[in-house]
Structure 1
Amino acid sequence: MRIIFHNLVTLEQAIERLLKFAKPLGSEEVDITEAYGRVLATDIVAPVDVPPFDRSTVDGYAVIAESTYGASELTPVELELVGRVEAGEWPSVEVHMGEAVEIATGAPLPRGANAVVMVEYSQERDGKVRVFRSVAPGENVMSAGSDISAGEVVLKKCTRLTAREIGVLAALGIRRVSVIKKPRVSIISTGNELIPPGATLSFGKLYDVNSYSLAAAVREAGGIPILHGIVKDDEKEYRTALQKALLTSDVVLISGGTSAGVADLTYRVLGELGEVLFHGIMVKPGKPTLAAVVNDKVVVGLPGYPSSALMIFHIIVRPYLLQLQCLEPESAMVVRAKLAYSIEGAKGRRALYPVVLVMRDNEYRAYPLYAESGAISVLARSDGYITVPENVEFLQEGEEVEVYLFERYKPAELYFIGSHDPLLDSILAKHNVKAVYVGSMGGLMALKRGEADIAGCHIYDPETGVYNIPFVKKLGIRNVAVVGLFEREQGLILQKGNPKSVRGIEDFIRPDIVIVNRPRGTGTRALLDALLDSLAKKLNMPLEELTKKIKGYTYEVKTHTAVAAAVAQGRADVGIGVRFAAELYGLEFMPLGWEQYDLVVKRDVLDKTLDIVEEVLQNLPPGYRRYEWSNKIKFEN
């Protein structure tokens, strides 16, 4: 009997029919030494900050940056050497103005210091350190939590683990990880003409190519190939091999026996044992391809010609195997994009910048991620990297660059750019939302440029007493709505038991108090500066003079949990942050009040955003609460 092809399907239809049967295979736990190439079965939430303490990124001298101002080769600044700290030990000495502590790369920063002078710009003699170049606060320092923030969803479920992600897991102290099981794929080659490689090739015989090429393709797709060898064109032998394969695997691939020849058995046998999904595809080569479901398992009959079998595998089988593992097929490895902002070169060296890609109107915008020394999380978050040649000093905003992708770029449904919040981050991770955290003002600017769909903001305007809306108006951002999300409780984060008896902001100017601050442009920094401005007026002194009296005012960290880490480790006595961070570290929390955290949203994605907002508001933890504008539009422009 000769099979006639009827009702041929398109490639898209063939793929769609297979993907309907892409059921999850379950999970298993593996050691991170065996996790390369595996796929995460759950989100990875950071249990600790990375790094866990403020540390030096160079060999040199830990100082108070202000002590070095004015230093040059002609007019060096002389500091008193008061101690040394090596990597792996905790410093017992405190740095004051005019003092320096010798420090090794990776060693914890001693209390009081806010910068490190590179050894190349210093000279030590007779207990003194001469500094030939001034440093700025935070220079050559990697602060606690600046790479990864405790409580952050650092790797999402369905992420394929490469060297970068495994480095993240190791940095978090995670030794075993839950991964999706690999699909076991049986491979059967059919045909009386086939012999295994290595055998003597007699007249009329061909070496079995498909068993080995398909096995390699299965491995590339993350599966485990099981070779069943060559099966003759005999129905009994064919059925036996197929039934054995179904018992030992999740998917079965059969090459040959799919055309309209009299010896072809696949269509007839699969039709008797299960349901044929399609027989014949509108493509050349590969027309005789078929697929069926037998005992809830997918069986695919591929063409016998090796080139046809391999091409059809990559077009329709590979996407199915990847989806069994919660993965999608890769795209081209290089894309062209326009820079979101200018970046500098490395002065004689080739600079590599990890980037996050945002797609707008079929055009990529590349957001370079500035990584501090030793930072790992930047690579995990990025889509790829760009290069700045050795002879280029900088690349301008809007300049076109080539992005070398780490994996296939996955366009997001929504792009969130703005201020980080740990609760919101945990919800965004459940949706097809790409988040880039650049602070409230950075988010508003991205929204104005058309790169963001949503900007998270909590900027207080002291002139009007209103959050966020005045800045949307001042920047002239059009076609957006400001949606109330929640209020967060901000307050003083203090050491357990409050040993310094800090009563409020007025104690920040005490000589025995060291604070930890947030960067300019963040809502928390704006809150502190507003409170200090009120205090300065009360004390009848300029704000600049007041801030000079505050130890640690120029000591800045990137996240709320980094503030808590600095206090918990004694680097600082107090800082301002959200209650969540204080409770995470078991610290005291003295409320200052509640701040409004809003979302500034493009009108055309407002409905989708409101759904996310309602999800966030369903179970608010301590330190968060609804307010009158939660899930409501406060302003439209």
Structure 2
Amino acid sequence: MRKVFRNLKSLEEVKDLIMRYERAERREKISIWDAFGRILAEDIVSGVDVPGFDRVMLDGYAVRAEDTFWADEDNPVELKVIGVASAGHPFPGEVGEREAVEVATGAPMPRGANSVVKEEFTVRKGDSILVMRAVAPGENVQGAGSDVRVGETVAYRGTRLSAREIGILAAVGIREVEVLSKPRVGIFSTGDELAQPGEPLEYGKIYDVNSSSLMASVLEDGGEPKFLGILPDDYEAIRDSLKREIEKFDIILISGSTSVGAGDVMYRVLEELGPPGVIVHGIAMHPGKPTVIAEARGKLVIGLPGYPTSCLTVYREIVSPLIRKWSGKPLETGKEVIGRAAERIIGERGRRDLLPVHVVKDEEYLVFPVPTGSEAISTLSRADGYVEMEELEEIIEEGEVVRVKLFTDRIADISMIGSHCIGLELIMSEMRRRGYLIKSVFVGSSGGFKAIARGEADLAGVHAFDPETMEYNLPFMRKFSIEDKAILIRGYRRIQGLIVARGNPKGIKGIRDILERRDIVMMNRNKGSGTRILLDYLLKEEAERMGIDISEAIKNIRGYWNEAKSHNAVAIAIKNGIADVGIGIKTVARLYNLDFIPIAEENYDFLIRRSSMRKGAVEEFLRILREFRSKLNELDGIEASDDIGLPISP
């Protein structure tokens, strides 16, 4: 008895039905050299800092910036050269007043020095140099942990590994990763008329085209295909082969023997394999109408039409999206977007520039240049694509329409630019687990306010303290004129304090030690950071209690002009003996197994652009923020109150 295709399902119905199916997750550990295109099965957290020390960015001389403040060509400053440092060969001593160390690109910064003078701005004079130009603290120095920090998640579960992610994994010392096993796809062809390519072709036979085409298609979609042979148009042979193989694969594809022919073999076999058996018997499309889909033992078996054109059409429309979903490979989309430059993008005349850019999806695509320099491996991982500038081009003006060639098939659902925090990492990890793509760039609180003001970020983590009002964050909304552009959301409180070596060998007790003692070296934070603002306030307050002038006191603080760009960089300096004390948060001190002296609490809140509040990713962020209150409270040094996630009124 023939089974006629009378209850055809629409292509949309079939796609929706198919995409609901999941496969049992399997994992395997492989070398990063074999990991290109594979899907991570775990979050990868860095156990090291990149770089692990303050690193020299160019050839020159490591100096104390304060020794050069008044240097120029008419009045050069003479410094004594006391040694040499190169990549892999640090200088063993300490740079003192009016001293310098000759350094090469990649060398560790010597203790006591906080800047590098370019070689071309100096003149060698025996054992000394003449410095012709002043340098600022931190100039020509890549700060420890400025690229990647210990405890930072550098790759997330579900990420499809490209050359950029593999480079970052190598940079943090990861040799092997756990990835999701590829979806296993069994492939049969059916038909008494078929012969395998390479065999002699008998009269009445044709070569099997579909199996080879399907094998290649599955490979292209990220699956692991296996050809299981050509089956005769025989009910028992097809039934027995399917029963034997179905447990070994995530899905089985069979081409041929699906149309209304003699005996309707495929329909009867698949119906018997259930329950539930056949769930689709015919699709309202051409070509591809005689398609049969069944479920048996929790697995899908899809009978594809025998004609090659029909077979591949159905595969492309309904099977390919499912294999790509299981393999983590995105659906094929356009590799370019047209956007508008949100700010001026500057290239260099005389060369073709491929400038990495960050794309934010608003009412239109807004295109921002990526600020991170070429010394950071994370530059390309944080970029969505690049803008190409011809040899005679130099500037793309703000508002100009630009074509972005994408590195990725998907623009981030949410852009986060601001201050880094372990608590925020916890929330972002959960968002990624729920399927959201996040772009995160950590540039400090001031950078977060600026990014929100420019429209570059949807959300910024901020903890900026205003000494005049004794408030966190709200005064800076007025300072950056974003009261009408953004909403401040209550986050959580963090404990700030002095980070010292394990056992506190210098016996440091508080802020007064920094002002009074000359036997300790501190590591300061960069100007504009919330932590630097807080420290300057505490130093001034303590100086007033001591009855001394803060401007004079600062001159005697060893290391005041040494600036780190993150809490992690402060901890690294203390861990490596570059400094004796620095200010940072308790969670980072614990992360590095350092001692901690609490001195203040701060508010770490979230600034959200008003136009972004309607985004699904932002709504999900706020839901997770409230749901994770108890998990945040489990982190040492963080306290989340009941009003977490609620707007803060001016």
TM-score between the two structures when normalised by the length of structure 1: 0.90
Report if the CA contact (8 A) 1:415-1:433 is conserved: no
5 Å matches for 1:374-385?
374-385=375-386
1:284 to 275, 286, 296: 286
1:615 to 627, 632, 637: 627
Per the TM alignment, residue 182 of structure 1 is displaced from its structure 2 partner at its CA by 1.3
1:303 to 305, 308, 312: 305
Residue 318 of structure 1: SS of its match in structure 2?
A: helix
Which runs of no fewer than 5 residues in structure 2 stay unpaired? Answer: none
Q: Structure 1's 308 and 404: CA in aligned 2 closer, same or farther, altered over 3 A?
A: farther
5 Å matches for 1:412-431?
412=413, 414-431=414-431
Q: Which residue of 1 aligns with 2:20?
A: 20
Per the TM alignment, residue 111 of structure 1 is displaced from its structure 2 partner at its CA by 0.8
Q: Which residue of 2 aligns with 1:337?
A: 339
Per the TM alignment, residue 177 of structure 1 is displaced from its structure 2 partner at its CA by 1.8
Q: Does 1:491 align with 2:497?
A: yes
Measured against aligned partners, the alpha-carbon deviations of 1:492-543 in whole angstroms (never above 9, x if no partner) come to 1122333334343344355444322323332112212222343565677776
Residue type at the aligned position of 1:23? R
Q: Distance in 1 between matches of 2:12 and 2:82?
A: 71
Q: Distance in 2 between matches of 1:581 and 1:329?
A: 40
Q: Structure 1's 207 and 213: CA in aligned 2 closer, same or farther, altered over 3 A?
A: same
TM-score between the two structures when normalised by the length of structure 2: 0.88
Per the TM alignment, residue 618 of structure 1 is displaced from its structure 2 partner at its CA by 0.7
Per the TM alignment, residue 264 of structure 1 is displaced from its structure 2 partner at its CA by 5.4
2:473 to 468, 481, 488: 468
Report if the CA contact (8 A) 2:427-2:625 is conserved: no
Q: Which residue of 2 aligns with 1:210?
A: 210
Q: Does 1:634 align with 2:648?
A: yes
Q: Distance in 1 between matches of 2:397 and 2:313?
A: 42
Q: Which residue of 1 aligns with 2:236?
A: 236
Q: Distance in 2 between matches of 1:91 and 1:555?
A: 18
5 Å matches for 1:310-329?
310-329=312-331
Residue type at the aligned position of 1:393? E
Q: Which residue of 2 aligns with 1:569?
A: 576
Q: Distance in 2 between matches of 1:195 and 1:76?
A: 86
Which runs of no fewer than 5 residues in structure 1 stay unpaired? Answer: none
1:525 to 507, 514, 532: 532
Bigger CA drift: 507-516 or 183-192?
507-516
Q: Distance in 2 between matches of 1:38 and 1:255?
A: 28
Q: Which residue of 1 aligns with 2:366?
A: 365
Q: Distance in 2 between matches of 1:522 and 1:287?
A: 64
Residue 185 of structure 2: SS of its match in structure 1?
A: strand
Q: State the identity %.
A: 45
Q: Structure 1's 250 and 77: CA in aligned 2 closer, same or farther, altered over 3 A?
A: same
Residue 563 of structure 2: SS of its match in structure 1?
A: coil
Per the TM alignment, residue 96 of structure 1 is displaced from its structure 2 partner at its CA by 2.7
Q: Distance in 2 between matches of 1:100 and 1:308?
A: 75
Task: Count the aligned residue pairs.
Answer: 634
Q: Which residue of 2 aligns with 1:458?
A: 463
Per the TM alignment, residue 485 of structure 1 is displaced from its structure 2 partner at its CA by 1.8
Measured against aligned partners, the alpha-carbon deviations of 1:416-464 in whole angstroms (never above 9, x if no partner) come to 4432211122122211362443433333344445554433221122222
Per the TM alignment, residue 78 of structure 1 is displaced from its structure 2 partner at its CA by 4.1
Residue 564 of structure 2: SS of its match in structure 1?
A: coil
Q: Which residue of 2 aligns with 1:268?
A: 268
Q: Distance in 2 between matches of 1:173 and 1:571?
A: 23
Report if the CA contact (8 A) 1:440-1:523 is conserved: yes
5 Å matches for 1:115-194?
115-119=115-119, 121-122=121-122, 124=124, 126-131=126-131, 134-194=134-194
Q: Distance in 1 between matches of 2:488 and 2:463?
A: 11
Per the TM alignment, residue 397 of structure 1 is displaced from its structure 2 partner at its CA by 3.7
Bigger CA drift: 538-547 or 496-505?
538-547
TM-align CA RMSD: 3.0
Q: Structure 1's 564 and 399: CA in aligned 2 closer, same or farther, altered over 3 A?
A: farther
Residue 168 of structure 1: SS of its match in structure 2?
A: helix
Q: Structure 1's 4 and 28: CA in aligned 2 closer, same or farther, altered over 3 A?
A: same
Q: Structure 1's 441 and 13: CA in aligned 2 closer, same or farther, altered over 3 A?
A: farther
Q: Distance in 2 between matches of 1:290 and 1:125?
A: 86
Q: Structure 1's 265 and 333: CA in aligned 2 closer, same or farther, altered over 3 A?
A: farther
Q: Which residue of 1 aligns with 2:599?
A: 592
Residue type at the aligned position of 2:27? S
Per the TM alignment, residue 623 of structure 1 is displaced from its structure 2 partner at its CA by 0.8
Q: Does 1:504 align with 2:510?
A: yes
Residue type at the aligned position of 1:408? D
Q: Which residue of 1 aligns with 2:639?
A: 625
Residue type at the aligned position of 1:184? R
Measured against aligned partners, the alpha-carbon deviations of 1:40-97 in whole angstroms (never above 9, x if no partner) come to 1111122221111111233332222344456667776543221112322343121234
